Structure 1
Amino acid sequence: MNVLVYSGPGTTPDSVKHCLESLRRFLSPYYAVVSVDTRTLAKEPWASKTSLLVLPGGADLPVCKEFNGAVNSTIKDFVKKGGKFLGFCAGGYYGSSKCEFEIGNPIMEVSGPRELKFFPGIARGAAFSGFQYGSEAGAKLAQVEVNKQALELDQEFSYHYYNGGSTFVDADKYDNVEVLARYTDQLSVDSGSIAAAVVYCKVGEGGAILTGTHPEYVPELMKKDLGNSQYNELIGNLLQTNESRQHFLRALLVKLGLKVNDNELVRPRLTPLTLSSPIPGNISNILDQLLANVGLSGDDHNLLVGNQDTFRLHKGEDTQNSHQLDKQEEFEDPDTVIKELYVYTDSLPDRKSTSFFDIPTYFRLLQENYGSLYRANAGSTLLYGEVVTSTSSMLDKNFNILTNLPSGLVCAASVQVSGRGRGGNIWINPPGVLASSLVLDLPTNYTHAPVVFVQYLTSLAVVEAVKNFGQGYEELPIKIKWPNDIYAIKPEYFGREIHKDDIEPSYVKISGILVNTNVIENKYKIIVGTGINLFNAAPTTSINSTIELLNTLRNKRGESSLPLITQEELLAKYMFYMGKLFEQFKSLGFGSLLPLYYKHWFHTDQIVRLQDHGLIKAKITGITEDFGLLKAEAIDFYNRPTGQKYLLQPDGNSFDMFKGLISRKQV
């Protein structure tokens, strides 16, 4: 599920940044925390895939201009049906029935009704005097008294950054409102019966939390101002009291019913990258290409500057610095920091170079699968980092570097701090998720089948890899959801007899695929990104968890247990099948792979409803060999064909397996 953070007119960049960082720390990997604009909220069917909508701080009048009418109606309907809303500062004003801000101030006064009305009363501010737009002049450390019973917290007080927020007037007098925290300092405005700083509002089946303070502000992200000693002192005080803020914010998210980490998951610092290959001359050729076409810069002439990232080159034989996944006090911006890259031209990294992945073992296993290694083999060149931003982004967003990388190079990581999926979803994935992005070249004059089929053969390669580890692995209940997601059976359904009509709800996603394509000098430069849940239980289940369930069943049958799969084994096997299937695809098109694809997918003879055609009942019959369109045949009440047939596009439609609908995405 998604957590959407609005980033558009009315929000400030700092507020959005702190929202994204804080929520990812507490909600990854259970939710994808992503920023969205007005268009997404107005046009996309986001509500069914979203747990929480967040409105950061800023100014609420521009939000009124963006949201009034249809967007607000969608938000209210989302919450009433069980969704959650979290409004910080200006988002707190906006979620109330009426905003009263700086009444009597001819320059700053804002007053009027608001449409959401989650809090049925007035949000009045600024609670403390001195606020100035675009300034920290009125910022202060706000102490709030915690409703320990409502939030199930032991602490009596919490300390937050404050800058212009409201108090919720007479909050204790409304039946649907629970005061979660109140200001302890004297306010500059009339708060009514209680100086409410944070409130929870029950709204239909859902709920909203509105705040006047900023419990989402992470002090280590706040930059000191040499000309403002008062603000610098504020940052120091926030750092000293940070634990109270962390516990408080976590409790707010729990109050909203979200699945939250026990402790704040601080984004780990990036670790060095290694570039290596067992094929003689392979890395030297890549390096020569990069030097000739991109060049090096910097004082030491060792900076490789990409379109998005900058890499500092080192010889692989140099000693790498020790990098741990422990919490770091100094905040590191992973998108702008220089990435350290160790290039191994004459050897492979030794086992001690990386803690989570044995590079020599991977190459040995890869060679055992292929028989012999060549430069064009998928996986024959490895760019690996224990902690990276995103394997796909490092390739796709650095076009000038990508141009010089060979087909078959794979970028892999044990942890991604900016993992990316469809729709721009971003999350932190922990150890246990095997993340990789493979570079593949395909001539633009290739005529056997369109590039869209690469996503199909990728999902097929993952499933084939897992089910061909040896005798017994073929029993693993792992399937393909059209067009390219991979699902495993939910633990609670394992070993139970499942009716055909119920098979899909009993499965859960364990792998996603994202394919990006660039055109460079008469060839497609394809980047195939995958994230595979190998041994992490959250947020769903994993391959090794499924193997353990199968072993329980096998032991009851008197059969031996199947060994669990390591990262090195899975990446080597996946690369082998990816290379094998890609070569078949290039020679014969995807038609030759269709029988194997159907063997592993959910949807043979599945009955669905076509939403864009009056909810017509239809049966899935396959996919077309030319453009990968999903084929559906209309049926009547008795499941008899009517003769009407439909073709649906994989990228223009959303296949919601849990509702049995195929619907065109709104644009």
Structure 2
Amino acid sequence: MNFPRVISNARHIALLFTGDRGRSVSPSFEYYQNRSLRGFTSAANPHRVATRNSTVRQVPLYQFLTSRSSSFKAMCKPNSVLVYTGGNDSLYSDIRHRLSFLLPPDEITVFNVSIQALKKQPWAEKSTVCVILASTNDLDDEAWEKIQAYFNQNGKIIFVCQNKLLASITGCDSSKANASILRFAFGSQNNKLKDTNKEFVKFLEKNMKKLPKSTAINETFRSKDVSVGANFTVVLKKEPDAPLFLYMQNNGSLHASALFSDATTQQLIAPNSNLLKDSLRSVGVNVCDTTMPPLTKGILIAEYDSIIESIAGLRLGEEIGLQPRILLRKSDVVEELGLPEATEKLLPIEVVNRDSDAGTSKNFDFNLYFEQIHSKIGQVVLLVDVATTTMDIIESVNAGIPSLESVVVIANRQISGRGRGGNEFLCPRGMAMFNFSFSISKKSRIAKHLPILQHIFCVALVEAARNLSGYPEFPLHIKWPNDLYCERSHKVGGMLLQCSTRDDSFRVSIGCGMNVSNDKPTMCLNDMLPKEAETRITKEQLIAETINKFTYYMKDYEDNGPETFKKKYHEYWLHSQQEVLLSDFNERVTIRGIDDDGYLQVRSKSNPDKIFSIGDDGNTFDMMKGLIRHKY
């Protein structure tokens, strides 16, 4: 792994990276370009500046974050359930599908954790509410030590891997082998746990003899080796016509800390079974009966009706694009033929006029949005009330209608939101969730520094939120490389940038999820306003103003170079002069800023003459622990 990057070297990175309505004449491209710049000058729009200045006031930091009830404490980041399947993606998919009907959809994320992440990443955090081990493949002593440490910190573990655990109790001739269950909970401390092993073997021998004669069992074993860390209680339980369960509980805990079963994985996750639900509840995970909302059709609308009419290659009435395929029909055809149901494979879209009833939505104010937008990007909106993910939709639109570069895809809710590294991203109603794409000539200045685009977007988002809030010191900041935080504590948003190449240009797609008015899973922008704030931030205005600012700063970088922009970025970020540890090299460094590409520029503490840059491809910045490490 090439972790540090010398700043003189060239870098190449693969980025995943109510007004007048129904207007019929579309302004020229130059009009939008000029209006985008005029929107940021007082001479061009004195009313806009006067309006903002009238609400701008200096507020001490401690007065922010007071709009929530004093009894409510927001989580710093969403709770999570980790699932280990030993690399079996099909098994993970089955477990994840079952969990989608059991976990609160706006509160808990689910991660498919690899063996490398299980051993190397600091996953045993307060936000990890449970670990589901669905396989013991590749779990060596190093992995078991991490699992043991998590258990000893009152971590919750559910074993749904029948093959090597309780199945051995009912199917193994050697009762001594049954004590291996302690190793699964406590690693390779066989000598220290010698006495406990003997007592546990006797406990199992005694109770397993009862099973053939009894349809039910409920017995408890309490450890005696407290001095070596074996401070736990074991409950062996079987109901009539039900699998055998073993609950292992840290003494003093209100819930089971580990749960074993001789049920098969498929028994536990069967749709008509309550076994997994009861197992989650037994270890203290908040479960509920969850119904996923159905996917909905899309609405394609433009600031001016003639914009859509002039789109080259707009194919109506046929399925185009990638997945989901998109099917566009104008409103008059929809009245006659209707639209098919939305699925994960097909997104039906109604093309509507600004002044029509079809061009309204109770969950998104198009007028408010179009009044705020000043950029050519964003003059066309594809709104989907419930979508899979806007990332997939924008890719499908790009493939099916390459000429439609001014569209922004917006969802009121996503059921398959993705973040960096393919991780799940919770997307409840109240968030601003949007994607847009554009092309950049390979001859341009910014094309030589593509990674900087994600930082330009973060600056645009912070500045948009501050302007709309009316408070210059609004406590929204950038955590490198692509997260947005309230101060240094609560994550409130993130962005993702993808890039592909075509002929003489790059195609860039930017996606964003930002908590605006949702009270879960952490906190939102409106929670960050003082109680006396006269205005509230809306997702319509935030999306439009962010695109405005992004267009402005991208042009400024192209015309004037990086220095002015970097100064603005450093004003908004959290890391100036922060000392961190490069964990893979055990080297302490001081952060100096970002370089022209947006990589972290750092100075070695042991060798002050050594200055180098760190890319974000494959690395993650644990701000709370002050370290940068490889992300598995």
Three-state SS of the structure 1 residue aligned to 2:367 is helix
SS at match of 1:117: helix
Q: Which runs of 5+ in 2 are unaligned?
A: 1-78, 187-196, 209-214, 224-231
**Contact 1:80 1:203 (8 Å CA) reproduced:** no
Does structure 1 conserve the Cα–Cα contact (< 8 Å) formed by 2:445 and 2:558? no
Question: What are the Cα deviations for residues 540-578 of structure 1, in whole angstroms up to 9, with x where unaligned?
Answer: 21100111xx235xxxxxxxx331112222222122112
Counterpart residue identity of residue 631, structure 1: Q
Cα gap change, 1:647/1:18 in structure 2, threshold over 3 Å: closer, same or farther? closer
Query: Is 2:135 the counterpart of 1:54?
Result: no
Task: Tell me if the contact between 1:320 and 1:353 (Cα under 8 Å) persists in the aligned partners.
Answer: no
For each residue in 1:104-123, what CA deviation from the matched residue of structure 2 results, as whole angstroms up to 9, or x when unmatched? 9xxxxx99956852398699
Question: Partner residue of 1:418?
Answer: 416
Give the % identical residues. Answer: 23
Contact 1:86 1:210 in 2 (8 A): yes
Match of 1:340 among 333, 336, 348: 348
**Letter of the 2:441 counterpart:** P
For each residue in 1:186-211, what CA deviation from the matched residue of structure 2 results, as whole angstroms up to 9, or x when unmatched?
A: x7xxxxxxx84352443999932234
The equivalent residue for 1:289 is: 313
**Structure 1 partner of 2:65:** none
Query: How far apart are residue 415 of structure 1 and its match?
Result: 0.6
Separation in 2 of the partners of 1:427 and 1:24? 17
Letter in 1 for 2:348: E
SS in 2 for 1:647: strand
Checking the alignment, whether the CA contact within 8 Å between 1:534 and 1:567 is kept in structure 2 is: yes
Find the counterpart in structure 2 of residue 362 from structure 1: 369
1:32 matched to 2:82? The reply is: no
- Within 5 Å, which residues of 2 pair with 1:466-481? 466-469=465-468, 472-481=470-479
* C-alpha contact (below 8 Å) 2:302/2:379 kept by paired residues: yes
- CA drift of 1:534 comes to 0.4
Q: Does 1:86 align with 2:158?
A: yes
Structure 1 residue 615 displacement after superposition: 4.3
Asked whether the 8 Å contact 1:603–1:620 carries over to 2, the reply is: yes
Letter of the 1:342 partner, please give it. E
User: How far apart are the structure 2 equivalents of 1:572 and 1:599?
Assistant: 22
Following superposition, the deviation at residue 305 of structure 1 comes to: 4.1
Q: What letter corresponds to residue 118 of structure 1 in structure 2? A: A
Aligned partners of 2:620 and 2:631 also within 8 Å: no
* Distance change >3 Å, CA 320–CA 540, structure 1 → 2: farther
1:613 deviates by 4.2
Q: Deviations over 1:2-50 (max 9, x none)?
A: 42223446x5836742444425751433332132444544565555585
Deviation at 1:458, TM superposition (A): 0.9
The answer for unaligned runs of 5 or more in structure 1 is 105-109, 128-143, 146-168, 188-194, 223-234, 297-301, 324-331, 490-503, 553-560
Structure 1 residue 643 displacement after superposition: 3.8
Superposition pairs of residues 4-23 of structure 1, within 5 angstroms:
4-8=82-86, 13=90, 16-23=93-100
Aligned to 2:59: none
Shift of the 405–202 alpha-carbon distance from structure 1 to 2, 3 Å rule, reads: farther
CA distances 1:587-608 after superposition (whole Å, capped 9, x unpaired): 3343331111111111122233
| Alignment partner, residue 46 of structure 2 | none
CA shift digits 1:514-543 (9 cap, x unpaired): 111111232211111110000112222110
- Judge conservation of contact 1:20–1:35 (CA < 8 Å) in 2: no
How many residue pairs end up in the alignment?
515
Q: Select which of 527, 531, 544 maps to 1:551.
A: 531
Q: Deviation of residue 614 (structure 1)?
A: 3.1
Alignment-derived partner of residue 168 in structure 2: 99
Quote the RMSD (CA, aligned, Å).
4.0
CA deviation digits over 1:242-278, x for unaligned, max 9? 7xx79735623xx34x5x36x4332211111111112
In the TM superposition, what are the counterparts of 1:216-235 in structure 2 within 5 Å?
A: none
Q: 2:50 corresponds to which residue?
A: none
Quick one: which of 537, 543, 547 aligns to 1:575? 547
Distance across 2 between alignment mates of 1:484 and 1:15:
27
Which residue of 507, 515, 525 maps to 2:497? 515
Distance of 2:181 and 2:246 partners within structure 1: 18
Q: Does 1:430 align with 2:434?
A: no
Counterpart for residue 522 of structure 2: 540
Distance in 1, Cα, partners of 2:415 & 2:280: 20
Match of 2:581 among 609, 630, 633: 609
Q: How does 1:116-195 map to 2 (within 5 A)?
A: 116-118=183-185, 172-175=220-223, 176-179=232-235, 182-185=238-241
* TM-score after normalising by structure 1: 0.67
Q: Shift of the alpha carbon at 1:381?
A: 1.3
1:209 to 256, 259, 275: 259
Contact 1:246–1:264 under 8 Å retained in 2? no
Is residue 648 from structure 1 mapped to residue 614 from structure 2 by the alignment?
Answer: yes
Residues 172/450 of structure 1: CA separation in 2 closer, same or farther (3 Å cut) = same
CA distance in 2, matches of 1:521, 1:82: 56
Shift of 1:405: 4.9
Pick 1 or 2: higher relative contact order, CA cutoff 8 A, min separation 6.
2
Q: In structure 2, what residue type is equivalent to 1:424?
A: G
Q: Which amino acid aligns with 1:391?
A: T
Instruction: Output one character per residue of 1:105-158: Cα deviation in whole Å (capped at 9) or x when no partner.
Output: xxxxx999568523986999xx9xxxxxxxxxxxxxxxx99xxxxxxxxxxxxx
Alpha-carbon shift at residue 215 of structure 1 (Å): 10
Check the 8 A contact 1:47/1:78 in 2, yes or no. Answer: yes
Distance 1:334 1:211 in 2: 36
Residue 619 of structure 1 aligns to which amino acid in structure 2? T
Match of 1:251 in 2: 281
Distance across 1 between alignment mates of 2:347 and 2:485: 34
One-letter code aligned to 2:257: G
